[in-house]
Amino acid sequence: MKRLFGSVRSRATLAATLVVAVALVAAGTAVLLSLRSNLIDQAGTAADRSARTVATHLAGGKTYEHLSLDDDDQPVQVVDERGRLVAATEDLERISGTGTDAVRPQAPTPTPTDGSGDEDADDDADDDASLEPGKIEEKTVFTDGSATIDQHSADYRFAAVRMETEQQGTLTVYAGAPLSAEQSAVRTALTVMLIGFPLLLAVVAVVTWLVTRRALHPVEGIRSEMAAITASEDLARRVPVPDTHDEVARLARTTNETLAALETSVERQRRFVADASHELRSPIASLRTQLEVGAAHPELLDVAGAVEDTVRLQRLATDLLLLARLDAGERPAAGARLDLAALAREEAEGRTGVRVEAPEAVPVAGSRGQLERVLTNLLDNARRHARSTVTVTVRREGEWAVAGVADDGDGVPDGDRERIFERFVRLDDARSRDDGGAGLGLAIARDVAVRHGGTLTVRKAPEGGALFELRLPFV
């Protein structure tokens, strides 16, 4: 059971069926109540009409004996002001819901005309003072009850109408209309609902099940393909995209975009590991060779070369460690402020052929150590390719602090201005590892700039060489 209702299709079918069931019950109840009310009103109208017909005859002077009260379907009672039954439908055997349950008329008595009557009669006379002889009261009182006529029992809607006569005094006419039509119609409607509602709910459940299965079929295709990708570890595969414009299609496209980004990230990581291994292999092999030669022939040990290879290994390990931290999402501590102009002057100090133009303080927020590393990498790169001069400028442009490092070398070709920021990329022999570069400096500089909310780009310098511009948010 838990597995059955654990699927979206089952829950959607159950929810739709329950909603329709509640709606049907509410609508069916309203229909039954409305039908019953309308039919009862119709029965009340028929009963009122019958009662007023009898009252009209009495007002016209007909005696009780001449009233036509032999209708087997409509029980009628005429009650005087003392509560005595003075006329009733023939063959009336039982009645309830009217002013009296008597079924056999009693002989009428004259209505008192003086004050010798009892106290109740005086009260009744006072109550009826508003009615003139022969007048029928407009107000009708309705009640529900039952009656048995000629051994046939039924429920009725009774109408009570009061009237005034000259000889009999105040009379109340009770007439009933059968409720059998109302009861039959309600039973029929209820039977139809009890039979039709389950069938309708079954249709709703089946249709919902089929529609949700069709709607979720692409989702199952995406799931199965993702499972296959996970099992095969082949990130080049993609999930099928349905030919629709709904949420499922957008999910498939987003999933493929995620797979593409993941594939790119994994491929980049693989290249990084391969390039790092290649870069480490050369100094390690050189250092090992020198140590082995030194162990066999101490007089031939190249201490300076061993130290140089060791420093080179240390720098490469430091670069790799920083890249690993940046890839892990490391960001500068919030609230750390520093002067980018002062930092540029410090990094340029002692370097031959480097000129700094930073007339005013330019505050930024970030990691001092990482920003020092950016400027160091840019200065080292510019110094390697400059013919004579490297110019460092620091200024503010709107909401940005801009640090530019320009050289007067050959510059960077247009097609390689993004490629040089990739890891382990060297464009020519001048950028070979023998000149001190492993192809990580510019990649580290751009990653640090991005982590600080900025950018690092390259374009042609006024002197003809390369101009690297670091942009950071001004604070």
Query: Locate tokens 């009963």: which residue?
Result: 47
Q: What percent of the chain has pLDDT over 70?
A: 89
How far apart, in whole angstroms, are the C-alpha atoms of residue 190 and residue 1? 33
Using a pLDDT cut of 90, give the percent of the chain over it.
39
d(CA 93, CA 104): 9
Is there a single domain that holds both residue 29 and residue 174?
yes
Q: Taking CA 191 as the corner, what is the angle to CA 185 and CA 195, rounded to the nearest 5 degrees? A: 145
Instruction: Give me the pLDDT at residue 119, please.
Output: 44
- pLDDT exceeds cutoff 80 at 471: yes
DSSP strand pairing (354-357 vs 390-397) = parallel
Shared-domain flag, residues 341 and 315: no
State the CATH number of the domain containing residue 285: 1.10.287.130
Q: What is the model's pLDDT at position 272?
A: 74
- Span of 55-59, 281-285, 400-404 with lowest mean pLDDT: 281-285
The answer to whether residue 65 scores a pLDDT higher than 50 is yes
pLDDT range class, residue 150, cuts 50, 70, 90: confident
The total number of structural domains in the chain stands at 3
Is residue 267 in some structural domain?
A: yes
Confidence of residue 207 (pLDDT cuts 50, 70, 90): very high
**220 or 333, greater pLDDT:** 220
Q: pLDDT grade, residue 49 (50/70/90)? A: very high
Interval 112-132 mean pLDDT: 46
Q: Are residues 84 and 128 in the same domain?
A: yes
Task: Enter the DSSP assignment of 290.
Answer: H
Q: Which of 294, 327, 360 corresponds to the end of one domain?
A: 327
Residue 429 lies in a domain: yes
Least confident of 126-130, 183-187, 261-265, 392-396: 126-130
Q: Same domain, yes or no, for 131 and 88?
A: yes
Distance from chain centroid for Cα 200? 29
Query: For 267-285, what is the mean pLDDT?
Result: 77
Looking at the structure, tell me whether residues 46 and 1 fall in a common domain: yes
Checking if the pLDDT of 430 tops 50, the result is no
- pLDDT score for 169: 84
What pTM was computed for the model? 0.52
**Position 129 confidence tier, pLDDT thresholds 50, 70, 90:** very low
- 96 contacts 145 by C-beta, under 8 angstroms: yes
Residue 37, in any domain of the structure: yes
Mapped onto helix, strand or coil, the DSSP state of residue 334 is coil
Q: Looking at the structure, do residues 276 and 158 belong to the same domain, yes or no?
A: no
Q: How far apart are CA 120 and CA 294, in angstroms?
A: 142
Residues whose CB is less than 8 angstroms from the CB of residue 84 and which lie 6 or more positions away in sequence, other chains included:
100, 102, 106, 108, 109
Per-residue pLDDT at 334: 62
- 346 and 320 in a single domain? The answer is no
DSSP tag of 68: -
Q: Which two tokens stand for residue 68?
A: 């036509």
Under a CB-based contact definition with an 8 Å cutoff, are residues 157 and 43 in contact? yes
The pLDDT of residue 343 is: 94
The encoded tokens of residue 437 equal 């570069």
What is the end-to-end Cα distance of the chain in Å, rounded?
Answer: 61
Both 186 and 319 in one domain: the answer is: no
pLDDT band of 5, cuts 50, 70, 90: low
Is the C-alpha dihedral spanning 174, 178, 182, 183 positive or negative?
Answer: positive
Give all strands of the β-sheet with 85-88 in edge-to-edge order: 85-88, 76-80, 169-178, 152-165, 141-149, 92-96
Q: Are 89 and 149 in contact (CB under 8 A)?
A: yes
Sign for the CA dihedral angle at 164, 168, 169, 173 comes to negative
Task: Specify the pLDDT at position 109.
Answer: 54
Tokens of 91: 């063959």
Of the pLDDT bands very low, low, confident and very high (cuts 50, 70, 90), residue 38 is very high
Query: Rounded CA gap, 35 and 32, in Å?
Result: 5
Exposure string of 92-109, with b = 16+ CB inside 10 Å and e = fewer, is beebebbeeebbebeebe
Return the pLDDT at 439. 78
Flag whether 242 is in a domain.
no
CB-side neighbour CA atoms (13 Å) of 409: 20
pLDDT level of residue 214 (50, 70, 90 thresholds): confident
- Output the pLDDT for position 135: 86
Give the domain range for residue 262: 247-327
- pLDDT tops 70 at residue 333: no
Query: In this predicted structure, what is the pLDDT of residue 473?
Result: 93
Antiparallel, parallel or unpaired: β 466-473 and 400-407: antiparallel
Three-state DSSP state, 49:
helix
Higher pLDDT: 209 or 330? It is 209
**DSSP H or E stretch at residue 92:** strand 92-96
Grade residue 107 by pLDDT with cuts at 50, 70 and 90. low
d(CA 256, CA 235): 10
Look at residue 144 and tell me if it is in a domain.
yes
Selection from 5-9, 100-104, 343-347 with the highest mean pLDDT: 343-347
Write down which residue in 176, 197, 217 finishes a domain.
217
Assign residue 449 the CATH number of its domain: 3.30.565.10
**Phi–psi pair at 397, nearest 5 degrees:** -130, 95
Q: Among residues 297, 327, 357, which one ends one of the domains?
A: 327
Residue at 238 is within a domain: no
Long-range contacts, 97-105 (Cβ 8 Å, 24+): 97/143, 97/144, 97/145, 97/146, 97/156, 97/158, 98/143, 98/145, 98/158, 98/160, 98/174, 98/176, 99/160, 99/172, 99/174, 102/77, 105/64, 105/78
The reply to whether 409 and 463 lie within a common domain is yes
Q: Are residues 143 and 56 in the same domain?
A: yes
Residue 226 falls inside a structural domain? no
Phi, psi of 137 (to 5 degrees): -65, 140
